[in-house]
Structure 1
């Protein structure tokens, strides 16, 4: 039995070290952050009369790194308060403290001798049973531990986090030759369930899995680009979403990573592989050498393959011309293959459409892709034991929508291999044998179970039962009801899941209808309901286009009916006699929040960006959002407490359209209740929501009773409005912002009733609806709505 990991020490407080410490703090792990002792005073320290012997100076590097976490964007911490879980220190005074932690992570410079020396120092204070790991991106785990004791080596392994550690889901775990398999299993489970990672087990080879394949692909792309005379932006147009890759594609990715960092990673393979043909691919092209020599390192230096310049009409993006090494305005790439890929739905269809285009971009895509597929196949068994681990590494480490072997299946394995052979390419022996057996895909599904090619057989992929896939349940005919906007899916054990799947999961009449139908179905046949989906975002709000069209046509009765339907649907959901749990993730905005508020409990993903943002389009929440925050203020204040501070907070949150930076921050902003929970690994989100439903049902669930809401009335409204007027006089907000704020104040305070009055929930809903309708009639609100639909950004008018 292994002791649970509750404490850790991170050695090295640079970007990666502090980021790893932040993620440990995010999940509740107390963490030491250690670095070297500075050899010089800063000007500030000297001015204060401090010396190099002062404790604050000796631990300055770690202390500064912790302070920087609050300023870093994107934020490494779920909540700034979590920084208190990180204790700074230094390697001379505090290394002995690692004897009291459960996990030590080395995150120092990528230099074998430096790491060896540090591990020697760590072993002096190491306590048997403590896990020690290195966050190396490519240095040999076995070479690092030369000279260490056998027991130490049994507890040592590589844990390669990707940057930034909070947001990048991949963690490569690399056992050494002597690593205890139990330690590997323990760390895998811990990383998945506690840290929220997707874990792949890599072999101790140069750059492990993701960086090995990813670096190869980027270098192949650059060489094919030069050979074919394509431009930077043409390559990015082909190797981005058209190929199932992120928008950053090739050269924006290199600029983000840093060209010097990329060169270092590529050189690591070049210096450590023995195959001359492979080494030739990893030799650094001259254009990269020249850019690095000139200090053009990408985003961190302001220029790389792209350069952003500010002009009189705003910022402009320039692209590098490789022949002249000068920058010029970006030119948009267009072709039949790119257009076909754009119109296709899903990564599989996009990639097939791109490759079938019959133009030079299609040829370029094929020439790059075929090399990456073959290289990935060649490395099976060398860098990882399974194709699944290579696919997962590329999806979560480089944000590919499909891994190499999934891509191969998507474009047709037998047909593509035949084309490769016709072009004189060498096919790995195992792939030829696999096809010779009559297999046509690397993956297959039977009875809802996934199998992968392994050796010359299909082997079942072991997926934990906690990882519920709605797509797979639908493939297993578990859909109970469905329409164009939503489906009700049987999760098993008497729990159903309402899944949104309209465009952007925006709430319209179809979703509202399915909510009502789901309530009836669950009432008859299920123990409770989960509201969740596995789209890119949970819900971006109500159907803004529909509202705008109705407002432009002055169809006020139609808008009134839409809002009444939304309100009544949410009200009935709240009063439903069986438990309801909402499980939002990522963007959950406006109506998406209001769809969660009626739930008995919200179990949110850690990466949930949650907010009532209607003010950004000139409106106020009208699906119960204002009512629910007023109700919570009433509950919290009780019969005699001061409502005003609570209402001031809600007024500011809604009026400024605040969106949480995480699930934890949603609690801080008051959007989530105290008993609502946050789940770090979104793969387990629906499972956790299902378990919550079952617990409530087993406990004898009773629906919440109708509550009266104590309101601040006319006096509270005046206080809120005075705050808004003051902001207008200080020119923080516009006249239209002030109008919206006055309407919001009227609703949150309960209108013009006497202070301390008790009103019904329906009364508050009526106030919401009236304010919403009146704002729909404002030309400037319609301008805001139109601008948001056209640009995706708010308009301040």
Structure 2
């Protein structure tokens, strides 16, 4: 029993494989000193070399498991022969070795004597029995033992399944859950000790059902992935690409666990590794990690396994246009009715995989989860689906879909003849006909609606991840326009949220934000900028400066592309062009309107900086261009670890002009040695000229977009709480706006000349084009304060004028216009 505040100062991970090493990486992301254990290398002079090698690999993986590569140094490589004594000082020890119960048992016997009196010990098993594993531990340790199942990759996947054994102490579980939620940023689901727990049990069955029906309807792997990806609210990797990403050997193992442990399951006959999958595993074609699996990349082309030809062919399957149009319908009730009524094989396939998934979840809910919410959130957080199975069933029409499932069971179309459980009838005859309501989610054990956890940690989540059927009201409105909404939650802190697409900034948002600042100065103690959904802001949108009629944009690859921003260097360029949306302005030749908007943007940035109340930016996801400049001008920024922040304008031939260059120059001057900011500006110039995008909030500090004093939090659902705490702290400390700096030293002409010298060398070496040279020169001119004597003193307005002038000069060039147009059209950079 825990009778003290549970903290984790030091942790250990047992096993330096893919999951173990990445769990260790995420622990140091949370600033927890971590030991990484592995078997000793008896042939090496350093017995801990295997663990050290695993740590070194972390620096090269994509997506990056470390928020900063330098944090790898905080993981200490150790081995079982020499260092077990170090476990005594660890508050948390996580076992993450291979899924062999005999290996785990042997390890538990070895390490148990070395665990501290208060150490929590947990297994990262993906499906083995926690109660069986507990039997290998001394009885006095079992109350501090549980399962703690991370999902791959641990840094990015939100879900952790927390699985108690029979002897687990509830206070231990509660303390561990609070730690996992706040300090590791996870969504915790309490799972029952059943094979594969919740997410893998349901998710792998879904994959097996898809494999079964794909074979029945004669659909190829690549076509199935087109049908089961983003069009039905699942990850773009869909089914078989996901299998390749996870590892075909891992998938086979999970299926095998289900086959070996679930003999009484009505779907047991389907818990079989398909022959083609077994053959791939035996060949060593394990998916992405081996370079070949269901898919294989040959050159720049993607090839897919063809079972009929027993080889690979170019992935060229096409989705039926009528089915695609059907899937894009907005009304889910209408969509599911059309799928079931259609005789097209692709539609029948889609109805079948949903029907059998709903059926499976309904039958097994009571055995594997405490309520429908836990199952749905486990699938959303663990597999990346937009909605869980019960949510999908509910919005498609519970009563009608239930009737269709019954009919298909009766006619032998479903994968199992097992009838739907009685509780489904409870929902069907209830007033709401919903598993998720404002009162809670359905729990079969009590035949009632079960509310969310009452643990104190969840009071920090003012607006938790909501499910279909759960009502959410974002506070009480102070004022609202078409562009912004200002509101509060009953205290003295005002909140402003943008309503534009991707939370881009146009003249209406600027005017709304200006009104919000003025309102906050008159009646509130602080102002927080927080968006009800990420991203924070994709930047400035100058389209309205043209005053051309609005046009509806069809869905494009851009929206899907943004989800991959942290993986692709081209993301920065495409978003820079899209967020600026300059095409219409250029065509209309209305540079004067653009300049007026930029001036307005700068004024608003300055108002954020010098407001009479503290301003706090609550950042989650993208904060690009103008969005980044807002962040830099607030008194404080609170950012989630997964914030991708950057001044990206140079990627399309421009430079930051909403005060971003000014702010970076000011920060360099503050850190100047002997009144010379140039040593700082060399790094700053590279950041701006290369349009560097920070791929974590920690990296944003390194690049200068965030300050060292800006808190980084791990859980996005705690962001608003943390931002309000910061805002109130500033207000309580007797906040006064900073004095306007009137004596900023500049690097001047010498700094400009030095940077230009470097650019000339790059130009002559054909590393950059003439237009790249022009862009770099303009950036250097602004950052260095113009052609002044080094050390000259200027004010902020001087830098802002330089920004505006350079921006418009670049915007007027044909080559910058060509870059913007090309990037918008192709999503790729143009080097001209």
Whether TM exceeds 0.5 here: the answer is: yes
> Does residue 1:427 correspond to 2:420, yes or no?
yes
| Partner in structure 2 of residue 171 of structure 1 | 160
What does residue 49 of structure 1 align with? Answer: none
Q: Distance in 1 between matches of 2:357 and 2:375?
A: 12
SS in 2 for 1:408: helix
Q: What is the deviation of 1:351?
A: 7.2
Partner residue in 2 for 1:83: 72
Q: Is the 8 A contact 1:713 1:752 kept in 2?
A: yes
* 1:611, distance to aligned residue in structure 2 (A): 0.9
- TM-score scaled to structure 2, two decimals? 0.90
Secondary structure in structure 2 of the residue aligned to 1:604: strand
Give the 3 Å change call, closer, same or farther, for CA 663–476 of structure 1 in structure 2: closer
Q: Is the 8 A contact 1:616 1:795 kept in 2?
A: no
**TM-score relative to the length of structure 1:** 0.93
Equivalent pair of 2:427/2:434 in contact (CA under 8 Å): no
Q: Deviation per CA, 1:77-114, whole angstroms, max 9, x where unpaired?
A: 11122222211111011112111211111111110111
Moved more, 164-173 or 457-466: 457-466
Post-superposition offset of 1:557: 0.9
What is the rounded CA distance, in whole Å, between the counterparts of 1:473 and 1:225 in structure 2?
37
Counterpart position of 2:41 = 38
Separation of aligned partners in 2, 1:476 and 1:530? 14
> Does the Cα contact within 8 Å between 1:238 and 1:365 map onto a contact in 2?
yes
For residue 158 of structure 1, give the secondary structure of its aligned residue in structure 2. Answer: strand
1:386 corresponds in structure 2 to: 371
The match for 2:321 among 306, 317, 335 is 335
1:761 and 2:796 are equivalent in the alignment: yes
1:624 aligns with 2:659: yes
After superposition, the Cα gap between the structure-2 partners of 1:140 and 1:550, relative to the gap in structure 1 and judged at 3 Å, is same
* Partners of 2:58 and 2:311 in 1: CA distance: 36
Are residues 1:460 and 2:451 paired?
A: yes
Q: Are the structure 2 counterparts of residues 484 and 732 from structure 1 closer, same or farther at C-alpha, using a change threshold of 3 Å? A: farther
20-29 or 565-574: which moved more? 565-574
Question: Which deviations, in whole Å up to 9, do the C-alpha atoms of 1:204-260 show, x marking residues without a partner?
Answer: 111111110000000000100110112222211221112111111111111111112
- Residues 263-302 of structure 1: matches in 2 within 5 Å? 263-275=252-264, 277-302=266-291
State how 1:57-206 maps to structure 2 within 5 Å: 58-206=47-195
Contact 1:380–1:386, Cα closer than 8 Å, also in 2: yes
Structure 1 distance, partners of 2:76, 2:757, is 43
Q: Would you say the 8 A contact 2:19–2:154 is kept in 1?
A: yes
Q: Give CA deviations for 1:122-177 in whole Å, capped at 9, x if unaligned.
A: 11212222111111111111111224321111111111111111111111111111
> Residues of 2 paired with 1:393 and 1:185: CA distance?
18
Contact 2:486/2:494 (8 A) holds in 1: yes
1:20 aligns with 2:40: no
1:510 Cα offset (Å) = 2.3
Q: Look up the match of 1:505.
A: 503
Q: Which runs of 5+ in 1 are unaligned?
A: 42-51
Contact in 1 for aligned 2:655/2:779 (Cα 8 Å)? yes
Query: Within 2, Cα distance between the matches of 1:549 and 1:761?
Result: 31
Q: Structure 1 residues 499 and 735, CA, compared in 2 at 3 Å: closer, same or farther? A: same
Which stretch of the first structure deviates more once superposed, 616-625 or 384-393?
384-393
**Aligned pair in 2 of structure 1 residues 300, 83: CA closer, same or farther (>3 Å)?**
closer
Per-residue CA deviation, residues 415-452 of structure 1 (Å, 9 max, x unaligned), is 1101111223521222123323444001112xxx6554
When residues 119 and 756 of structure 1 are mapped into structure 2, their CA distance, relative to the original with a 3 A threshold, is same
Q: Structure 1's 453 and 442: CA in aligned 2 closer, same or farther, altered over 3 A?
A: farther
Deviation at 1:792, TM superposition (A): 3.1
Secondary structure, counterpart of 1:705 in structure 2: coil
Q: Say yes or no: does 1:598 pair with 2:583.
A: no
Look up the match of 2:573: none
Aligned to 1:681: 715
C-alpha spacing 1:526/1:658, structure 2 compared with 1 (3 Å): same
Instruction: Quote the offset at 1:59 in angstroms.
Output: 0.7
Q: Which residue of 1 aligns with 2:399?
A: 414
After superposition, the Cα gap between the structure-2 partners of 1:532 and 1:476, relative to the gap in structure 1 and judged at 3 Å, is: closer
Aligned-partner Cα distance in 2 for 1:545–1:692: 31
Whether the aligned pair in 1 keeps the contact of 2:637 and 2:710 (CA below 8 Å) is yes
Q: Which of residues 718, 724, 735 in structure 1 aligns to 2:753?
A: 718
Choose the corresponding residue for 1:261, options 250, 253, 256.
Answer: 250
1-structure distance, mates of 2:733, 2:222: 59
- 1:789: which partner in 2? 824
CA displacement at 1:537 relative to structure 2:
2.2
From 483, 491, 494, the counterpart of 2:492: 494
Once the two structures are superposed, what CA deviation does each residue of 1:262-305 show, in whole Å capped at 9, x if it has no partner?
01111101100122532112112222223323333222232222
Match of 1:9 in 2: 12
Task: Determine the structure 1 residue equivalent to 2:529.
Answer: 531
Q: What SS class does the counterpart of residue 9 from structure 1 fall into?
A: strand
Shift of residue 349, structure 1, vs aligned partner: 9.2
Contact 1:335 1:359 in 2 (8 A): no
Q: Is 2:650 the counterpart of 1:647?
A: no
Q: Which moved more, 1:556-565 or 1:497-506?
A: 497-506
1:567 pairs with 2:602? yes
d(CA) in 1 for partners of 2:488, 2:207: 43
Distance in 1 between residues matched to 2:340 and 2:632, nearest whole Å? 46
**Is 1:440 equivalent to 2:412 in the alignment?**
no
* Counterpart position of 1:45: none
